[in-house]
Amino acid sequence: MAKNIVKTEYYKIDKKITFESGVEFGPITVAYETYGKLNDAKDNAILVIHALTGDAHAAGYHSENDKKAGWWDNMIGDGKAFDTSKYFVVSSNILGGCSGTTGPSSINPETGKPYGLSFPVFTIEDTVKIQKELLDYLGINSLYAVAGGSMGGMQAMQFVMSYPDMVKSAILIATTSRLSPQGIAFNAVGRNSIISDPNWNNGEYYDKENKPDRGLSTARMIGHITYLCEEAMYNKFGRKLQDKDHYDFHFDVDFQVESYLQHQGQIFVDRFDANSYLYITKAVDYYDPATKYGSLQNAFKPSDAKYLIISFDSDWLFPSVQSKEIVNTLMNLGKDVSYCEIKSPCGHDAFLLEYDVQSKIVKSFLDNHMTEKCNE
């Protein structure tokens, strides 16, 4: 079968946007992709939002030779959960990212140099504001659905809170309405690791030969531990040694799990910017609509959207209890809400991996049949 070839496009928001901090910032270029066709009524658009280190490329391939499909390709496409024969799916790179949307590694037109730390600290609300600008540009005034996993789920729920009349439904997967102190702690240690790398150089490393790769790599390794659960680690690695039968009695890699993490750290630095990692994790730490709106009820109250909440039983980073808090809030408000906890050995990463069960639930929800049975 021929590959589904897609292209990243760019929209320049050629004005200043007021951030939650009060800072006015612009212009901002947004990298985005679309899949499927917007119908004449313009009522079949679905905004899909990526997680911490994702990008606009959610589905398809960039060329016939491209070996890697978009990050949610198993969910988006003809006949898939986000069925592109019915829906018009929009995906964009987050504000502050490093995959096409303006971020700290972008050139400041006023100085001709990368922003670095002069890029303003932004919030989840700001990232959603940028998505809204993109939708305006695309002529989309109403969303059939907004969907995201992990940090993408935070943005999806914030989209409902920021633009309550615009959203028909929201799909919030493996997410939380605020990070636990443990979650903040993991992010803080990751940032500390980057900032401690002498090559970070207060964020000014773009023209240097050596970048803060070691710090960023350690941050990614910490992240990966939290994305897997203990069961997943046992299944994947156990205590198996890497390419050897006996301990080596030195400090090279002994165990497969060490090798895996080092590899994940090393490949990450080739595709991600250390400053972007700082900014985006900070936005995640800051996210807390219950405090901002007075309560989570207040935050969700204005919208009449339908909700699908999905969590995974082995996710200890954003555990089910945090999803249930959202579900309970919505039920107390009398909103239309479906909730599924999917059994999975994949930990937090399940939202990217468990597409079989997840697809059925999402597809059914989008086709307006509420899921009646879970975990089958």
The set of catalytic residues is: 150, 315, 348
* Side chain identity, residue 1: M
Q: Binders of a copy of itself: how many residues, by CB under 8 A?
A: 54
Is residue 21 close enough to count as binding a copy of itself by CB under 8 A?
Answer: yes
Give me the least distance between CB of 244 and a copy of itself, in Å please.
13
Dist. CA 95–CA 49, nearest whole Å = 12
40: Cβ–Cβ under 8 A, 6 or more apart, which residues? none
Burial class from Cβ neighbours inside 10 Å (0-12, 13-18, 19+) for residue 1 reads exposed
Is residue 249 close enough to count as binding a copy of itself by CB under 8 A?
Answer: yes
Helices then strands, each counted (H, E), the chain: 12, 14
Dist. CA 327–CA 110, nearest whole Å = 46
List 66, 204, 288, 313, residue binding a copy of itself (CB under 8 A)? 288
Selected range binding a copy of itself among 91-99, 160-168, 216-224, 368-376, rule: CB under 8 A: 216-224
Is residue 118 close enough to count as binding a copy of itself by CB under 8 A?
Answer: no
Per DSSP, helices labelled H in 200-295 are 213-227, 230-236, 256-268, 274-286, 289-292
Of 121 and 353, the one with the shorter C-beta distance to a copy of itself is 121
Tell me how long the chain is: 376
Give me the least distance between CB of 107 and a copy of itself, in Å please.
21
Of 117 and 370, the one with the shorter C-beta distance to a copy of itself is 117
- Omega of the bond prior to 198 within 30 degrees of 0, cis? no
Dist. CA 197–CA 201, nearest whole Å = 8
Selected range binding a copy of itself among 38-46, 55-63, 134-142, 186-194, rule: CB under 8 A: 186-194
List 10, 18, 198, 367, residue binding a copy of itself (CB under 8 A)? 198
Selected range binding a copy of itself among 130-138, 174-182, 306-314, 349-357, rule: CB under 8 A: 174-182
Asked if 245 and 154 touch (Cβ cutoff 8 Å), the reply is no
Give contact residues for a copy of itself (rule: CB under 8 A): 21, 23, 117, 120-121, 178-182, 184-186, 188-189, 191-193, 195-198, 214-215, 217-218, 221-222, 225, 228, 230, 233-234, 236-239, 247, 249-251, 254-255, 257-258, 261-262, 265, 278, 282, 285-286, 288, 291
